[in-house]
C-alpha cells in the first residue's frame, strides 16, 4: 500500500503549470537527503523551472522525512518496500509534465537537472544520465567500485544495446528524465532495483525517443550505513531480468542451436558414417535426439513467453508472431503433431516387425535402433507439438 501526502491547495492550483517533478526515493538517508533536496530546489530556482521536489520515503526511521521537508521537499510515505515501489509512489504523487529521478545519497549532482530538462524540451521521451567515459561522463575517485565500472556496468550496457537496441552506455545510471506520457505508456511493474532497467528496456522496445546526457558521479555521501547495492546479488538480478525479458536469447537462439546440432547428429549417425576413423552410430543418435527434444522445447518456450509478455504489455506487439499465428492455427498445429506421431508410429512398427521376425528374441541393435530412436523422437515431438498448440493458443486467446 502506498500512502501519499496530499499536495497543498496551492500545489493543486499549480498542477497544470508544474513542468518538472524531481523524485528521490529515500530509505534512511538522513546523512544526504537534505543536501540533495537543497540542490534540487536550487537547480529549479536558478534555471527558472517551475517544478517540485518529491521525496518518496520507504519507511525511514532516522528522521529523513523531517530533513527533506525542511529543505523544501514534499514527502510521500510509501508503505510498500522496494526501490521501484518508492519511485512508483513518488511519480504517482507528482504533478509535473517531466519527471527527473535520482538517488538521495548525494552521488548525483542535482544541479545538473537543467541539462535533462533541456533535452526533454527538445522532444525526447527519455533522457538517460551517463557516468561512464564511453558516454562522456566522469566518475570521481572512489565513487564507483572498479568491478562495477570496468566489468559489470559496461557488460550489461553492451547487452542492452545488443539485445534490446537501447542507445545507452550506462544502463545502471539512476539519474534520468522522462515524460509523464512515456511513463504511463510503459506500465512499470518491477518493485525492486530492476525498475530502472525495466524502464530502459521497455522504452527501447516501444521505440521511444531516447538521449543520453553526460554527468559526474560523486562518492556516496552516506556515513551511517553502507550502500544498498550488493554487487553479485544485484548483478545476477539484472542478468536474470535481461534473460526473462528477452525470449529470443533465453529460449529461441539456444533452442535453434540445439535443433541444428541434433539434425547434424542425425545426418551423420543415421547412415552410420565414419569420419576420421570415428564410427557415428546409435549412441550418437541418442545424443542428437536429446538435443532436438531440448531445443524444440526451448523454441516452444520462446513462443509461449513472448505471447505472455505481449498479453501483459511487457513488450509491444510483434508482427512476426502475428504472422506465425495466422498460418499456424491450432488445427494445423494439431494436424502437424498428429502426422509426426503417425510417422514415429510407423518407424516403431517397423522395428516391432523386425523383432517379430526374430521370434521376439535378440535383435541387432546397431540396425534396430536406427528405427526405434527416430520413431520415439517423432512421437515425443508430436506430443509436444499438440500440447504446445493448446497452451500457446490459450495464451494467445487472452491477447485478443
Q: How far apart (Å, rounded) are the C-alpha atoms in residues 144 and 124?
A: 28
Q: 102 falls in which pLDDT band (50, 70, 90)?
A: very high
Q: With beta carbons less than 8 A apart as the criterion, state whether 166 and 200 touch.
A: yes
Q: How far apart (Å, rounded) are the C-alpha atoms in residues 295 and 308?
A: 20
The pTM of the full predicted model, rounded to 2 decimals, is 0.75
Percentages helix, strand, coil for the chain (3-state, rounded to 5) are: 55, 10, 30
The pLDDT, as a whole number, for residue 399 is 62
The pLDDT, as a whole number, for residue 182 is 96
Query: What is the average pLDDT score of the chain?
Result: 89
User: CA triplet 283, 289, 295: central angle to 5 degrees?
Assistant: 140
The pLDDT, as a whole number, for residue 96 is 95
Q: With beta carbons less than 8 A apart as the criterion, state whether 78 and 57 touch.
A: yes
Residue 382, Cα to own-chain centre: how many angstroms? 32
Integer CA distances (angstroms), 308 to 153, 233, 391, in order: 29, 27, 11
Q: What is the mean pLDDT of residues 35-56?
A: 96
Task: Name the residue with cell 556496468.
Answer: 153
Q: How far apart (Å, rounded) are the C-alpha atoms in residues 121 and 98?
A: 9
DSSP state of 100: E
The pLDDT, as a whole number, for residue 370 is 86
The pLDDT, as a whole number, for residue 365 is 76
Q: How far apart (Å, rounded) are the C-alpha atoms in residues 111 and 280?
A: 69
Q: With beta carbons less than 8 A apart as the criterion, state whether 302 and 248 touch.
A: yes
Q: What is the mean pLDDT of residues 353-360?
A: 83
Which alpha helices (H) appear in 270-397, and where do they start and end? 282-311, 319-327, 330-357, 365-397
Q: With beta carbons less than 8 A apart as the criterion, state whether 64 and 105 touch.
A: no
Task: Name the residue with cell 519527471.
Answer: 99
The pLDDT, as a whole number, for residue 1 is 42
Q: 3 falls in which pLDDT band (50, 70, 90)?
A: very low
Minimal CA–CA distance to 253: which of 221, 210, 220, 299? 299
Give, to the nearest 10 degrees, the angle between helix 194-205 and helix 153-164.
30
Does residue 180 have a pLDDT over 90? yes
The pLDDT, as a whole number, for residue 233 is 77
Does residue 217 have a pLDDT over 50? yes
Q: 17 falls in which pLDDT band (50, 70, 90)?
A: confident
Q: Is 60 helix (H, G, I), strand (E, B) or coil?
A: coil
Q: With beta carbons less than 8 A apart as the criterion, state whether 22 and 110 touch.
A: yes
DSSP state of 256: H
Q: 4 falls in which pLDDT band (50, 70, 90)?
A: very low
DSSP state of 79: -
Q: How far apart (Å, rounded) are the C-alpha atoms in residues 370 and 373?
A: 6
Give residue-wise pLDDT tens across range 109-137. 999 999 999 999 999 999 999 999 989 99
Give residue-wise pLDDT tens across range 272-305. 888 888 888 888 999 999 999 999 999 999 999 8
Q: Is 21 helix (H, G, I), strand (E, B) or coil?
A: strand
Amino acid at each position: 500500500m502506498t500512502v501519499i501526502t496530499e499536495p497543498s491547495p496551492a500545489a493543486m492550483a499549480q498542477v497544470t503549470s508544474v513542468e518538472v517533478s524531481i523524485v528521490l526515493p529515500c530509505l534512511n538517508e538522513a546523512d544526504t537527503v537534505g543536501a540533495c533536496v537543497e540542490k534540487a530546489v536550487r537547480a529549479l530556482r536558478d534555471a527558472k523551472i517551475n517544478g517540485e521536489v518529491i521525496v518518496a520515503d520507504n519507511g525511514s526511521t532516522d528522521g529523513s522525512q523531517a530533513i527533506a521537508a525542511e529543505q523544501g521537499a514534499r514527502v510521500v510515505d510509501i508503505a510498500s518496500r522496494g526501490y521501484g515501489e518508492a519511485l512508483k509512489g513518488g511519480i504517482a504523487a507528482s504533478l509535473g509534465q517531466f519527471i527527473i529521478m535520482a538517488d538521495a545519497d548525494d552521488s548525483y549532482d542535482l544541479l545538473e537537472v537543467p541539462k535533462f530538462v533541456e533535452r526533454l524540451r527538445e522532444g525526447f521521451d527519455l533522457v538517460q544520465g551517463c557516468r561512464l567515459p564511453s558516454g562522456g561522463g566522469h566518475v570521481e575517485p572512489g565513487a564507483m567500485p572498479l568491478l562495477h565500472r570496468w566489468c559489470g556496468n559496461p557488460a550489461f550496457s553492451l547487452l542492452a544495446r545488443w539485445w534490446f537496441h537501447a542507445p545507452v552506455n550506462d544502463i545502471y545510471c539512476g539519474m534520468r528524465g522522462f515524460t509523464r506520457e512515456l511513463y504511463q505508456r510503459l506500465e512499470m511493474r518491477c518493485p525492486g532495483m530492476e525498475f530502472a532497467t525495466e524502464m530502459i528496456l521497455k522504452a527501447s522496445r516501444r521505440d521511444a525517443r531516447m538521449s543520453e546526457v553526460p554527468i559526474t558521479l560523486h562518492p556516496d555521501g552516506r556515513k551511517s550505513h553502507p550502500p544498498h547495492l550488493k554487487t553479485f546479488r544485484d548483478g545476477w538480478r539484472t542478468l536474470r531480468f535481461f534473460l526473462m525479458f528477452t525470449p529470443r536469447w533465453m529460449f529461441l537462439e539456444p533452442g535453434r542451436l540445439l535443433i541444428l546440432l541434433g539434425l547434424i547428429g542425425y545426418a551423420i549417425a543415421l547412415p552410420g558414417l565414419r569420419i576420421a576413423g570415428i564410427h557415428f552410430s546409435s549412441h550418437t543418435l541418442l545424443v542428437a535426439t536429446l538435443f532436438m527434444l531440448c531445443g524444440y522445447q526451448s523454441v516452444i518456450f520462446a513462443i509461449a513467453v513472448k505471447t505472455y509478455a505481449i498479453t501483459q504489455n511487457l513488450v509491444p506487439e510483434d508482427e512476426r508472431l502475428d504472422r506465425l499465428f495466422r498460418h499456424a492455427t491450432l488445427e494445423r498445429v494439431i494436424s502437424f503433431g498428429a502426422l509426426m506421431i503417425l510417422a514415429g508410429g510407423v518407424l516403431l512398427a517397423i522395428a516391432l516387425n523386425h523383432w517379430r521376425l526374430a521370434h521376439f528374441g535378440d535383435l541387432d541393435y546397431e540396425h534396430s535402433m536406427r528405427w526405434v530412436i527416430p520413431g520415439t523422437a517423432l512421437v515425443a515431438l508430436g506430443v509436444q507439438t499438440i500440447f504446445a498448440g493448446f497452451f500457446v493458443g490459450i495464451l494467445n486467446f487472452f491477447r485478443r
